[in-house]
Amino acid sequence: MNKEELFNQVMEKINAEYIPGTLRYVKASHPDLWRHLVEAEDRLEMEWLNGMEEGFKKCLDAWVGFNLAALKIFREREIQKMLL
């Protein structure tokens, strides 16, 4: 699987789980996670442009991990709001 196919597959997974407002909430309430997410995205973009498959895969995995962490935090927040 090439970089583009891999990226598209990952984006489908993230988009399927995405909850509107997640990134805005993480940026405002979890600045450390937001910083890691932005840095991971920057590294991912650099690896994409450099054409290095292995480096791209590592950066993509990190970026996905930070996105999933953001979604988990936001989902838990939404659940807590419903319980109150």
Q: What is the pLDDT of residue 46?
A: 93
% of the chain with per-residue pLDDT over 70: 100
Residue 17 within a domain: no
Under 8 Å CB-to-CB from 40, ≥6 apart: which residues? 59, 62, 63, 66
Residue 63 within a domain: yes
Q: What is the pLDDT of residue 81?
A: 87
Residue 62 within a domain: yes
Span 2-31, pLDDT tens digits: 889 999 999 999 999 999 999 999 999 999
Task: Flag whether pLDDT at 48 surpasses 80.
Answer: yes
Query: pTM, whole model, 2 decimals?
Result: 0.88
Task: Flag whether pLDDT at 40 surpasses 90.
Answer: yes
Residue 18 within a domain: no
Q: Report yes or no: 26 and 71 within 8 Å, Cβ to Cβ.
A: no
Please tell me the total count of domains within the chain. Answer: 1
Residue 8 within a domain: no
